[in-house]
Structure 1
Amino acid sequence: MLGFAQTALTYIIPFLFVLTLVVTVHELGHFLVAKWFGVAIDRFAIGFGKPIFQRVDRSGVEWRIGWIPLGGYVRFSGDDNAASVPDQDDLDHLRTAIVRHEGPQALGKYYHFKPLWQRACIAAAGPMANFLLAIFLFALLLGTVGEVTHPAKVTGVAPGGAAAAAGFLPGDVVTKTDGRTIRSFEDLERYVIVRANVPIQFEIERGGRTIDLTAKPALVRDVDPTGGTQEVGRLGISSQVTAADVVRTRYNPAEAVVVGARKTWEVLDTTVYYLGRLVTGQVSAEQLGGPIRIAQASGAVAQAGAEGAPDFGFMLLGAFVSLLGLAAVLSVSIGFMNLLPIPVLDGGHLLFYAYEAVARRPLGAKVQAAGYRVGLALLLGFMLFATWNDLQRLRVFHFLGGLLS
């Protein structure tokens, strides 16, 4: 019992907090924009399965929390098609039923009879809400806790490493990578870690001079904060700085929003770049992670934030602040993934709307149904593969094999 309580505090509660925050804001994006355009909504749900909470408000919207907290959805009135984009015949039947029961004036409140640009805005609102959440969370942390950084100063170069081969020396300060400004050693690490075996152009300062170097980070298997292993790019340099080198910066509200937007863009840029390498086979698909890895990361981040706190209250505060940072990063990833042109995701709806804009009519029902099934299969396959990778990282099958042998 004590072990379960410890696991819940360490992994389950942080995971549910982060995931629920990101999913709720995503669905609120759809909901609020739909409300703005006057769309009738039947249900706003967080989680799937049987409800553990449900309430119908005065506008007729059912607010529901399901017992499986792995997603959410907004159900529009008349939205009984699995792909949420009915073909012309479905629209005709739906229009006839609405006119018969509610009159022709009621058509304007149904999602499927809204102008195409409004439906596209509603579909895109979820991912956009995720990006705005990331900017808000980054800005909140930058304006309150601040940002702790230290210069990208090289104090050690590993013999035989990529940096040594490129000509790095102790005392070098990295100022740019591939033309991008490097503001801290953390920036440098984040840039290098996803570029194993990719030549990088470095601009460094050495003894008052500017020198250009080219290095190709080596692919190494490293232990991540969750206790598992991951393949990352490493230069073979270290940076040990004194307390005088560490800078804590707190931003005013305007600056915090600007820097928060920049950090959101950097996370998005890194996500797109890494996914591109994954699709082209430059990075092993074994690096993909699913809910288990997110739960592990949530637990590790919460523990790191709570370390060194003088009492339980400060432990909770430290964990909470750290989880907000993780939620910001995860929100960017969720926003981007939902924009992929897969029929069950928001990007798939936008793809259907693009076809409708060109063809002047919705895609046929059979094509939509086939696209929905393929998209669902792809999504479920991705989730299963990612979960398999998580279990492999935890050596679950090795452990079970030892029990059965």
Structure 2
Amino acid sequence: MDILGMLPSFGGFVGSAVAFIIALSVIVAIHEYGHYIVGRWCGIHAEVFSLGFGPVLYSRVDKRGTRWQLAALPFGGYVKFLGDSDAASGKDGDAISGLSDTERKRTMHGADLWRRAATVAAGPVFNFILSIFVFAGIFLFSGTTTDEAVIGQLKPLPGPVDMFEPGDRILRVGDSDITNLEDFYVAAREAEAAEIMSYDVERDGQFLSFDSVYPFPPVIDQLQPKSAAMDGGLEVGDVIQSVNGNPVFALSQVQDAAQANKDSPLELLVWRNGEVLEKTLTPRQRDLPTADGFETRWLIGFSGGAFFEPTRETLGAGDALWGGVRQTWFIAKSSLSGMWHMVTGAISSCNIQGPIGIAQTSGDMASQGPTQFIWFIAVLSTAVGLLNLFPIPVLDGGHLVFHAFEAVSGRPPSDKALNALMMGGLFLLLSLMVFALTNDFFCS
């Protein structure tokens, strides 16, 4: 049974909640398992591995004495090691004082420094590993486009695309000669928007010339979560035929209209499987990453492409894995850049989402199919791993700072200083959560 495919039928709220719980549970389970397994390899005993908080719904104790449990509140998880006073790895001084030297070595507070540091760092590292392998798996499954301007599959459009056939090699678009796919994209970007374009193609050794649709028609290939397009009921495969009564033939015309109208409503005529629908959408302001930082634009919230899917080729395992590494690095780098631009005021702080916003995004991605949802889980896993490395007490990054202090000074912070820093970190983290939750309500 395709559980993800059933999410939209639950309705917006329930579907988003279920998708969010699934995504968060996977990410938290991998994160906490990283702590657990590296801790076990380092000889540190885990007393409890919990997925969720609150009342325990199910538990069992394995042969190593670790209690594995599922709790009622599926909004996180933790590993409680021997000698911990709580889920945040606070020190239980009374419990540790009653342990022998050998037993103390099996705690998070008595083990060698490198063992403790490795155990703490393993959580975020496992999040990054999850992202890399998910991206690599998607690349391996879907392959990559070839560099040839050859039609792999035509998209269903209302215009005269039936002139083409899969396998056609495009040789000319308008006045531009085409030798590869990049040439086609350049010609499409430079061509003036028109209802009809002329094409030369090679088909089974024959050379044909005919007129067909604009190379980049206003067809929806992917919807952006929490966008006007998603909330307004647009679907993948929809073709926008007019904006405010003006016929459009190119994706760029829709983008220009949204930018020009800003937050004024747009009246759209949309073709969907032979039926023409009327939609009214208001563009939303968004900050988009660029090579030089970020660009603020007004968007409906969808992406498109050519009137056809190019031919694809399979990737080797090594290339797919390297693609996963690069994609994970890109997300981490973009996230850090976005945070810096928010701190400096270059972009809006509304880019920070709280649990409600993330849940809505989860539901929006799940509604577009399993691949999009799994991709989102990998993106969110990278973000969770990155956030946990921030040098804030309570987070893994804060613990690593304490370990670094111990490595330099030769002694850990005092219990008094540690408790004060942990309380300060908790206050900072809760403040950030309240701020993000406020954004969920007041930022569109």
TM-score (norm 2): 0.63
Once the two structures are superposed, residues 220-262 of structure 1 have per-residue CA deviations (whole angstroms, 9 ceiling, x without a partner) of 7799xxx994422268999853426x35343121111011111
1:279 aligns with 2:343: yes
1:16 aligns with 2:21: yes
Distance 1:331 1:143 in 2: 19
* 8 Å CA contact 1:44, 1:64 repeated in 2: yes
More strand by share: 2
Question: What is the CA-CA distance between 1:272 and the residue it aligns to?
Answer: 1.0
* Cross-structure match for 1:339: 389
Q: Percent identity?
A: 35
Distance 2:140 2:134 in 1: 10
* Cross-structure match for 1:180: none
* Cross-structure match for 1:128: 125
* Cross-structure match for 1:213: none
Once the two structures are superposed, residues 329-365 of structure 1 have per-residue CA deviations (whole angstroms, 9 ceiling, x without a partner) of 1111000000000001000000111111111111112
Q: CA RMSD in A?
A: 3.5
Structure 2 unaligned spans of 5+? 1-6, 147-180, 194-213, 215-220, 225-258, 266-281, 288-294
Secondary structure of the residue that 1:304 maps to in structure 2?
Answer: coil
* 8 Å CA contact 1:11, 1:299 repeated in 2: yes
Q: CA separation of 1:329/1:157 partners in 2, compared to 1, >3 Å: closer, same or farther?
A: farther
* Cross-structure match for 1:327: 377
1:294 aligns with 2:358: yes
More helix by share: 1
Aligned residues between the structures: 312
What is the one-letter code of the residue matched to 2:367? Q
Q: CA separation of 1:158/1:301 partners in 2, compared to 1, >3 Å: closer, same or farther?
A: farther
* Cross-structure match for 2:306: 241
Q: 2:443 aligned to 393, 397, 402, which one?
A: 393
What is the one-letter code of the residue matched to 1:279? V
Alignment of 1:5-404 (within 5 A): 5-7=10-12, 10-80=15-85, 84=89, 86=91, 95-99=96-100, 104-147=101-144, 151=182, 153=186, 155=189, 229-232=284-287, 233=295, 241-243=306-308, 246-305=310-369, 320-393=370-443
Structure 1 unaligned spans of 5+? 160-170, 172-185, 190-217, 306-319, 395-405
Distance 2:55 2:90 in 1: 26
TM-score (norm 1): 0.69
Q: CA separation of 1:40/1:287 partners in 2, compared to 1, >3 Å: closer, same or farther?
A: same
Secondary structure of the residue that 2:435 maps to in structure 1?
Answer: helix
Secondary structure of the residue that 2:109 maps to in structure 1?
Answer: helix
Distance 1:228 1:370 in 2: 46
Once the two structures are superposed, residues 204-230 of structure 1 have per-residue CA deviations (whole angstroms, 9 ceiling, x without a partner) of xxxxxxxxxxxxxx997799xxx9944
Distance 1:299 1:123 in 2: 31
What is the one-letter code of the residue matched to 2:79? V
